[in-house]
Structures are given as structure tokens and as C-alpha cells.
Amino acid sequence: MGLLARVRKEWFIIGIVLVILSAKLQPSVGVRGGPLKPEITIAYVAVSLIFFNSGLSLKTEELTSALLHVRLHLFVQSFTLIFFPLVIWLLLKVLALTAIDQWLLRGLQTVSCMPPPVSSAVILTKAVGGNEAAAIFNSAFGSFLGIIVTPVLLLLFLGSSSSVPFSSIFSQLFMTVVVPLILGQVCRSFLREYLERRKLPFGTVSSAVLLMIIYTTFCDTFSNPNIELDPTSLLIVVLIIFSIQLSFMLLTFAFSTRSGSGFSPADTVAIMFCSTHKSLTLGGETVDSSAHLTRRRRAFWCTSVHKRKNTVVCALLQTTETSAPWTE
């Protein structure tokens, strides 16, 4: 395989490296309030584009079928909102006996209580030929469910209450997820023959949008270099996060592929990405409601590391994609 062909094949991972380097060199471009205005272009425009793109590319029958796949939805939501935070709580009971920064551990628990991601799971599921429709439903439903469930989980596991602006988050999710998806379906009904004939690169568009999201999140990271963190605790927590992510992905893979599970290979892809990822949509609001600035930064840093690590791990998984998608 020639160099150009290799670059075309691995363009997404190369893109991740380039956007991270760009964010490191000039983080002020993509920070909140910066020239790129990510609080608008990413939070609203980019996410809306992702779901409009999905609505345009998916057949209505696929969305309807995914909606009725109750077994898959129950597994994803129970894993991410019950099993995930419970396991992390038990793990942190042990880690609390160590010298690891306790606020980093609280940040990890905060992450575990978050709902599935709004956009990244959909993009990555689509990239490897998984059940995109199921990923869309669980990302959207989990995000709406998290508005209520996440504060309850934080109260149970951390003993602290947090005020989540229900109306603003609900309206944002509705306008950036539900409305663009419906508009995409409406447009598809008029352009169906053209879309099926031309085979437009919907997956490439979604992956390019994800690169923009990665760029702006790393701009935020590099623009705040003075977060007070113990280096040893930091390294240990990063290793723990990688171990948790790998273990949970292997666990969901083993469960969803066992005999009699009733899940197809495409379902397994959606399950792995939706069940083991966490959203920062509620994370930022939760952190902002905390009592102390330094503690808040530590918890949010841990949350951000987990989110970006998920993207990098799944980008590596994407390289295993062959010319044939996951099909039965």
C-alpha cells in the first residue's frame, strides 16, 4: 500500500494528531469566547449537523426498528446509569485508602454518573458500520434521562446536591438532536432516490465534525495549564481510566456476543460505544455548581481526560474497520 493510500485510509487518526498539535500551539483559537466560538459553533451547529447528517442518511425503517429494540436500550441505559457508577463507587472505596488526590477520585465518580455522549458514540458507531440508529436513540434518550438521573446519582454516591438547569439543557438537546434528526428525515423523503444513487460520504462528514469537537476540547485543556494536580496522582488516575475503559468495553463485547444474547454484530458496536462513554453536556453544568473553584477544576479535569481518552481509544478501534462493515 502506497503512502497516499495509507494516508487516505488512516486520515481520521492523522487528523486527531494534527488537531491536538494545533490546539497545543494556539489554544486561544478554540477556547470558549475565542474566535471559533465553540459555545455556538460546536455546541449547537456541529451537533445539529451530526444529527441532521444521520437523519439524512438513515432509512426511516432503520430508525423505527431501532426504536423497538427495547432489549438493547435497557442494556445500554442500565449499564451506563446503574452498573457503571456502582462499579466505580466500589472501586473508589478501595482507592480512597491510598494517597491518590481525593478530588481526582471524586471527579472520576462524577464522570461515572454522566449519561451517554450526545454525538461521539453516534459518529464512531457509524464509522465502523454499527447500528447507527440504535446509537442515535440511546444517545438522545440517555441524555434526556440524565437530566433527572445524574443529579440523583451524584447525591447517592457523593452525598452532594447539584442544580442542573433542566429547561436550558432540555431545550438545547431538543434543538440540536431531535429537530435536526427530524429535518434530516424529511429531506430524505424528498431526496431518497438521489441519495441512494449517489452514495454521499455521510460518515466522512460526521468524522470531520468530530475532529472539530476534539480540537475545541483540547484548546480548553491547553488554555488552562495551571490546574493544581499532584503528578503522581494524575498518572495513576490516567492509568486507572484506561484500565476501566478497556475492561468495560471487553465486558460489553463479551455480553453482547454471547450465545442467545439476541444482539447482532452491528448492535454490539452500538452497545460498546454507548454503554462505556460519558457525556460532558451535563458534566460542565454539574462542575459549575460545585462549591470550591480548585476542587471544581480537578473534577472537571478528570472528566475531560476521560472524555478525550474515549475518543482516542475508539479512533484506534476504527482502524480495524475493513471494507465490509459489521453485518450478520
pLDDT band at 131 (very low <50, low <70, confident <90, very high): very high
Say if residue 272's pLDDT is above 90. Answer: yes
- Cell numbers found for residue 36: 471559533
Question: Could you tell me the sign of the dihedral formed by the alpha carbons of 199, 181, 33, 285, in that order?
Answer: negative
DSSP alpha helix (H) spans, 26-69:
38-40, 47-57, 60-67
The region that residue 260 occupies, defined by phi over 0 for left and psi between -120 and 50 for alpha, beta otherwise, is: left
What is the residue whose three cell numbers read 442542573? 164
Are the C-beta atoms of 107 and 299 separated by less than 8 Å?
yes
pLDDT tens-digit series, residues 27-47: 899 888 889 998 899 888 998
Banded pLDDT at 146 (limits 50, 70, 90): confident
Average pLDDT (206-230) is 78
- Give the per-residue pLDDT at 225: 61
Say yes or no to pLDDT of 100 above 90: no
Distance CA 76, CA 8 (A): 33
Mean pLDDT of 90-98: 91
Q: Which of 33-47, 85-99, 143-157, 286-300 has the lowest mean pLDDT?
A: 286-300
Residue 260, pLDDT > 60, answer: yes
Lowest-confidence segment of 56-60, 103-107, 264-268, 299-303 by average pLDDT: 299-303
Nearest residue to 133 via CA among 213, 74, 60, 48: 60
CB atoms within 10 A of CB 101: 19
Please give the pLDDT value at position 162. 61
Kindly state the average pLDDT of the residues 191-199: 83
Q: What is the largest CA-CA distance in the chain?
A: 62
Maximum mean pLDDT: which of 12-21, 83-92, 220-229: 83-92
For the chain, give the mean pLDDT: 81
Judge contact between 78 and 149, C-beta under 8 A: no
**SS3 annotation, the chain:** CCHHHHHHHCHHHHHHHHHHHHHHHCHHHCCCCCCCCHHHHHHHHHHHHHHHHHHHHCCHHHHHHHHCCHHHHHHHHHHHHHHHHHHHHHHHHHHCCCCCCHHHHHHHHHHHCCCCCCCHHHHHHHHCCCCHHHHHHHHHHHHHHHHHHHHHHHHHHHCCCCCCCHHHHHHHHHHHHHHHHHHHHHHHHHHHHHHHHHCCCHHHHHHHHHHHHHHHHHHHHHCCCCCCCCHHHHHHHHHHHHHHHHHHHHHHHHHHHCCCCCCCHHHHHHHHHHHHCCCCHHHHHHHHCCCCHHHHHHHHHHHHHHHHHHHHHHHHHHCCCCCCCCCC
The closest alpha carbon to 137, from 217, 58, 249, belongs to 58
More confident residue, 100 or 225: 100
Q: How confident is the model at residue 85 (pLDDT cuts 50, 70, 90)?
A: very high
3-state secondary structure of 277: coil
**C-alpha cell read off for 293:** 473553584
How far from the centroid of its chain's Cα atoms is residue 328's Cα? 26
What would the pLDDT profile of 157-175 be if each residue is shown by its tens digit?
887 666 667 788 788 889 9
Q: Would you say residue 322 has pLDDT above 70?
A: no
Instruction: Please check the confidence at residue 326 and state whether its pLDDT lies above 50.
Output: no
| Average pLDDT of span 93-120 | 85
How does residue 327 score in pLDDT terms, banded at 50, 70 and 90? very low
The band of 6, judged by pLDDT with boundaries at 50, 70 and 90, is: confident
Tell me how far the alpha carbon of residue 299 is from its chain's centroid.
Answer: 18
Mean pLDDT throughout 312-325? 45
- How far is it, in rounded angstroms, from Cα 79 to Cα 275? 6
